[in-house]
Structures are given as C-alpha cells and as structure tokens.
Amino acid sequence: MHNQPIDQDNSSDELDLRLTRALDAVPEVRIPADFAARVASQVPARRPVSLKPTHYGDYALFLGVLATLAAMFLLGHAADHHTFGFVESILLAQFLVLTVWLSLRRHSLR
C-alpha cells in the first residue's frame, strides 16, 4: 500500500479510502522477552537513607531568638526617649513568637 505510487487518475475518494485504511491500521507491538530485565539493570542502586537527623532549622530558629533578644536589648539601652517604642514592641512580639515556636517544636520532637 505505501509502496504504490499515487496515480493522477485516481479519484479523491480512492485516496481518502487508502488514507483511512492506513490510519486505521493497528500497529503491531513487539516487546522482547528480556525487556523488563534490561530496564531494571539500568536503574541505579538506591542510596542509603541518612538516619541521623540534622537540626539546621532549630539552630537557625535559636539564632533568630538570640538576635532578636540582642536587638531588643540594644534598642532599649540606646535611647531613653520613646521613639523606638513601636520597633521594640514588634521585636518583643517576634521574640515571643520565636521562643514559643522553638519550645513547642522541641516538645513535639520528643
């Protein structure tokens, strides 16, 4: 069918019929018997899972608590007037939230 030349004399109905037959033909699928074994042999071996937990997030959280405490201490002693009242209250709220979060996180990991 695909080796036959298309004649100029063929009508468009014949061409449509040949195209429809060619498109409707189901291709033959051939899978070798050892295909699954070959694919499985190419998969890399699994790396061992690390069982030692890292605590980078806890360390960063603790560092944030210390930095917030230091900033509150410096702002509290640097100026005697109340221009830094709003900044100090935001730092105090951040300090409290970080401290509660750190304590709850450590409690839930036990």
Q: Tokens for 29?
A: 């699928």
Q: Tell me, what's the pLDDT at 34?
A: 92
Q: Tokens for 79?
A: 């100026």
Q: Tell me, what's the pLDDT at 54?
A: 78
**pLDDT under 70: residue ranges of the chain:** 1-10, 78-84, 106-110
The answer, as to whether pTM is greater than 0.95, is: no
Domain range summary for the chain, segments of one domain joined by +: 56-108
Q: Tell me, what's the pLDDT at 68?
A: 84
Q: Tell me, what's the pLDDT at 90?
A: 84
Helix (H) or strand (E) segment spanning residue 42: helix 35-42
3-state secondary structure 74-100: HHHHHCCCHHHHHHHHHHHHHHHHHHH
Q: Tell me, what's the pLDDT at 35?
A: 92
